[in-house]
Amino acid sequence: MSKRAFTPSRMVLPILVLLFACATTFAEKSVGQESVDASAKKPDTSERVKQLIAKMTLEEKLGQFTQMWGGIHQETNPETAEQKYADLAGQVRAGMIGSFLGIKTAERANEFQHVAVDESRLGIPLILANDVIHGFRTIFPIPLAETASFDPEAVRQSARISAIEAAAAGTHWTFAPMMDIGRDPRWGRVAEGAGEDPYLGSVMAKARIEGFQGDDLTARDTILACAKHFVAYGGAEGGRDYNAVDISQTTLHNVYLPPFKTAVESGVGSIMSAFNSLNGTPCTANQMILDDILRKRWAFDGFVVSDWSSTTEMVAHGTAADDADAARQALLAGIDMDMSSFSFRTHLAEAVSNGLIKETDVDRNVARVLEAKFRLGLFDRPYADPKEQKRLTLCKEHRAAARDVARKSIVLLNNEDQTLPIPKSVKSIAVIGPLATSKKDPMGTWAVFGEPDDVVTVEEGMKARAGNAIRVQHARGCGVLESDRSGFDEAKKIASESDYVVLVLGESEDLSGEAHCRSSLGLPGIQLELAKAIIELKKPTAVVLMAGRPLSVPWLAENADAMIMAWHLGVESGNAIADVLFGAYNPGGKMPMTTPRNVGQVPIYYAHENTGRPPTSERYTSKYIDVAWTPLYPFGYGKSYTTFEFANLALNQKQFDANDAVELSVDVSNTGQVAGDEVVQVYMRDMVTSITRPIRELKRFRRIHLKPGETQSVKFTIAANELGFYDNAGVYRLEPGKFKVWVGPDSNASLEADFEIAKNTAKVTTAAN
C-alpha cells in the first residue's frame, strides 16, 4: 500500500476511506485469485482445507503458524508507526503471518485483513486475537470476582457482551477463559481464574465459552474462545508465576484437568499451552497432555497455541538445545500456532529439509489453524464494520449489565450490629483511603482496552447515591504502597466530623495479575495503620476491600464494624459498591477461594485430604501452634443483609446403582426482613475409598432469590457416576459404599444425609479423563 499519514489516535488517508466504503465488496468477493472459492462447492470444511493446503508452499504453511504483535496503536511516533505497519504488511503480503494479537480498532483490523485477502498469493485471511479477559472497552469485574457471584448466567452475559464489543473491533479470537485452578493466593493470576474448586471452575468455564462463542461462530458478534493454560499452571511452586509444577496423577486428573475437559465438551475452539513444566516436561512440548489426553482421549478438534514465547523458553527450561530444537518439539507435541517467538517460521523449514520432521507433520497442524478460520467464517466475511464498533462500544446497555454483574460479585464478609446498609439517619459520610478516588485500579488486571476515564470511582458512586441529602467528604490518608503518613491527620479530622466512615483499602491493579505475585497477603503499605487510626475513633465504619485476590486481614475482620470484598469490579465499580453500601442491593456473593488468616497457612483450601491425625485441640494433631487451623473465611462464604435457614434435606432413595441419578431437595427460607439472594451449595464425600479423598467436594450450587418470609424447595439431580474419582493410574473409579451429602450456605454446611452406592453396580472406567 502507498505511504500514509499516522496520528497516535487515528489515521487519515484516502485509500482507507476507500477500504471502508468497499468493505462489503471485499467480504463478498473471492479471497484471492489462487485461493479456494469460499462461496462455491463447500462439501465440508476438511475438504476445503485439503484443497487449500495443496496450493500452499512450505513457507506459507509456516506463516500460518506465526502470530505476531500488531498493537501499533501503542506507538506514539507516527513515523515509527508507519515503519512498523509497512514491515508487518509486507510480511502479511508474503504469507509469513497467520495471526496478529493486539489490534485495537476495526479500521486497523481491516487494513491488515485487506492485505492478507487481496494482496497475498492465496488470500488466506488473518485470525486476529486479543486478551479480552473481562471486557473489551466495557470492563466487567475480574474473573475471580465474577466467579464470586456463583451466577453462571451473569458470567455468560459478561462474556457475551465482551464478545460483541471485541468482534465489532475486528477481534476474532480471545485468550480467555483462564481456567487454571488456583489454591495459592500468592499467585497473581488467581485474579484471572475461577478460584480453587474444579467443579465451580468447570461451570464458569462453560458459561464463559458459551458467552464468547455463542451459537454460531460465523455470526458477526461471536469470537473464538481459548481455554488456558493447559495445564496445572495454577499449581506453580511457591505461588510464583511461571514456576515448575510437580503434582501427582490423582491431583492432575481430579483437580486441574476437569475444567479443561468441560471446555472441550462445551466446544471451545482453541487451547493455550501453559508456561510451566509439568512433572519435568514443559507443557509446550508435553505430548502426554497435548496429544494423549487432549486429542486422543478427549477428541479435541480445535487448535493449540503456545503462550507468549513459551516455545523458545524451553531452552531456558533445559529441555531443548536451541530454538530450532524447541520448535521441533513443540510442533510434534501438538502446538499449532507459535505466539510471538517466530521459531516455527524461522526453523521448521530446515527441520523438514533435514528430515527431523515431515511436511505431513506441518500439514496436520496447519490444517487445524485453517479449519478454525473457516469455522469463524473468515473466508466469507473477513472484515469488521467500524460503525458497529462505535455504536456498540461502552453503550448504556453494556454499562448497565456491568453494574449488575459487579453488584452480584460483592461479598459481605462482616456486618456487626447491622452497620450495613448505611442507616437512613446518617447525614455525613467520610470516604477515606487511597483507592476511593482511583479510576485505574478498579479495572483490575488485564483490562487491556479499558479506559480509566470510563470508571465510576467509589467516591463518585457514593456521591451519586447520596444526592444532596448526605454530605460526602474524601481524604486519601495514604497511598497503596507509600509510607507517607502525612495524610493521616486530615483523614482523622474528616472521619471525626462525619456520622459514618467508609474505608476503601486494598490492592492497586498492578499488585495482581501475571508476574505480580506476592509473598504476603495483608494490606499493602501502611493501609492497616490508617485503618487502625480511623477505627479507633469509634465511628460506625464499613471497610471496602478492593483486590485481585483474597486478603489476609484478621485485624479488620475482628475490629471493623462491617466489611465487603469488592475485588476489582470494572467500569461500574463505584455505582455497584454504593448500591450495596446504601442497601439498594443486598449482597449475595460468595468467596470462590479460601481466605487464609496469614500467609503461613498457604496452601489452604476446603477440599483437602484428611490425615491420620486431623486437627483438634490435642497436641499431636495436624495444625500450626501459632494460628487457628481454620481459615479466616471458608470457601463459599458470604453474608447477607437478611438471614436464611436450611431445612428438610431429602433424597429420593437411600441406595443407588451406578447408572442412577441422586435426586435431593432442601427447603431454604428467608427468615429476615429484606429480600435477598442465597447460594445453595451441595457437598459430598465418599466415606471409604481405595485412596485418600477430599473431606468434601462441591457437586452442585444454585443462586436463588427469596422475599422476606418466602420458602423455596430447591432440587438438584446428580448422576451417580459423577461421584467417582481418578486413581493413581489415571483410571476413573466409582467405588461402592457409604456417601455423605451436606447442604448449606458455604463449605462448612452442616445439614447432612447419607446414601450408598450398591456393591454390585460400582464400576471402573479405564480411560483416564
Q: Which residues are catalytic?
A: 307
- Residue 486 CB neighbour total at 10 angstroms: 9
How far apart are the C-alpha atoms of 399 and 381, rounded to whole Å? 29
Distance of CA 107 to CAs 13, 20, 111, Å? Answer: 12, 8, 6
Decide: residue 487, CB within 10 A, 0-12 exposed, 13-18 middle, 19+ buried.
middle
147, 195 contact by CB (below 8 A): yes
How far apart are the C-alpha atoms of 648 and 680, rounded to whole Å? 13
How far apart are the C-alpha atoms of 289 and 520, rounded to whole Å? 33
- Tell me the residue type at 83: Q
How far apart are the C-alpha atoms of 203 and 263, rounded to whole Å? 9
For CA atoms 702, 706, 709, 710, give the dihedral sign: negative
Question: Which residues are registered as beta bridge partners of 127?
Answer: 99
- Return the SS3 of 486: coil
How far apart are the C-alpha atoms of 561 and 556, rounded to whole Å? 9
Strands 661-670 and 711-719, by their bridges, are: antiparallel
In sequence order, which residues have a C-beta less than 8 Å from that of residue 154 and are 6 or more positions away?
Answer: 146, 404, 405, 408
* Among the listed residues 719, 129, 130, 66, the one whose alpha carbon sits nearest the alpha carbon of residue 450: 130
372, 303 contact by CB (below 8 A): yes
How far apart are the C-alpha atoms of 761 and 306, rounded to whole Å? 43
* Among the listed residues 277, 269, 212, the one whose alpha carbon sits nearest the alpha carbon of residue 246: 277
Decide: residue 43, CB within 10 A, 0-12 exposed, 13-18 middle, 19+ buried.
exposed
